[in-house]
Amino acid sequence: MASHLDRARAALFAGLALWASCAAAPNEPSSSEGTDPGVGSFSVELTAGGGFRFSQLSYDVRGNGFHKAAALDVAASTTLSTVVGGIPIGTGYTLALTAQDDAHALTPCVGSATFNITSDATTPVPVHLTCHEAPKTAAVPVPRWATAALAGLLLALGATSTRRRARARR
């Protein structure tokens, strides 16, 4: 019989709870094409599976003295598709993605990839986000008799302390 953790892993990896594939649709013009030949773009496609819901996806692009970061609202659906433009042509860029499920049943999902912008066309950058089931904190059961005994002990200690203070004042 599969444990809850095994089912969560199966949902994450078999169904790929999050697979961010930053890839352009064929022949899709970039929002920067024709405007500035020194910049390019990439697109992000995100599909959430396994019954998990996400409100936002944060991205961070760095490299060649360039930095761009933002949070994208994904609360309305289990899929997201967007183009991030204005990336100067160059090599050695790093794209980092982060997402947290709404119920906090998973640790923050993270993934990164390196890529190059070689033209003003949209560049495909596949990024696999990895999530893990958040650790569960189990409450330790306390028997009712132990609670009552502790309450009685504290009451007796409080009464003894009050008597000692009253005697000390005389």
Do residues 132 and 111 lie in contact, with contact meaning Cβ atoms separated by under 8 Å?
A: no
Together in a domain, 118 and 169: no
Q: Which domain CATH number covers 37?
A: 2.60.40.10
Answering whether pTM is above 0.85, one says no
Together in a domain, 106 and 148: no
Do residues 125 and 84 lie in contact, with contact meaning Cβ atoms separated by under 8 Å?
A: no
Q: How far is CA 74 from CA 39, 44, 122, 130, in A?
A: 26, 12, 21, 18
Residue 144 covered by a domain: yes
* 44, HSE (Cβ side, Cα atoms, 13 Å): 29
Residue 88 covered by a domain: yes
Q: Which of 19-23, 86-90, 154-158 has the lowest mean pLDDT?
A: 19-23
pLDDT recorded at residue 36: 67
The domain containing residue 158 runs over which residues?
140-170
Residue 59 covered by a domain: yes
Count structural domains, the chain. Answer: 2
pLDDT recorded at residue 12: 39
DSSP of 105-127: -BPPEEEEEEEEE-SSSEEPEEE
Residue 170 covered by a domain: yes
Q: How far is CA 169 from CA 30, 76, 157, 161, 165, in A?
A: 85, 69, 19, 13, 6
Together in a domain, 116 and 165: no
Together in a domain, 110 and 29: yes
Question: In sequence order, which residues have a C-beta less than 8 Å from that of residue 55 and are 6 or more positions away?
Answer: 73, 74, 75, 100, 102
pLDDT recorded at residue 130: 87
Together in a domain, 22 and 106: yes
Residue 62 covered by a domain: yes
State how far the Cα of 159 lies from the Cα of 53, in Å rounded to an integer.
Answer: 54
Residue 132 covered by a domain: no
| Secondary structure letter of residue 130 according to DSSP | B
Together in a domain, 79 and 104: yes
Do residues 72 and 60 lie in contact, with contact meaning Cβ atoms separated by under 8 Å?
A: no
DSSP of 11-62: HHHTTTSEEEEE-PPTTPPPTTTTT-TTEEEEEEEEEE-TT--EEEEEEEEE
Together in a domain, 27 and 79: yes
State how far the Cα of 116 lies from the Cα of 125, in Å rounded to an integer.
Answer: 9
Together in a domain, 83 and 149: no
- pLDDT tens figures, 112-158: 999 999 988 898 888 888 888 888 777 788 888 988 898 999 889 88
Together in a domain, 116 and 86: yes
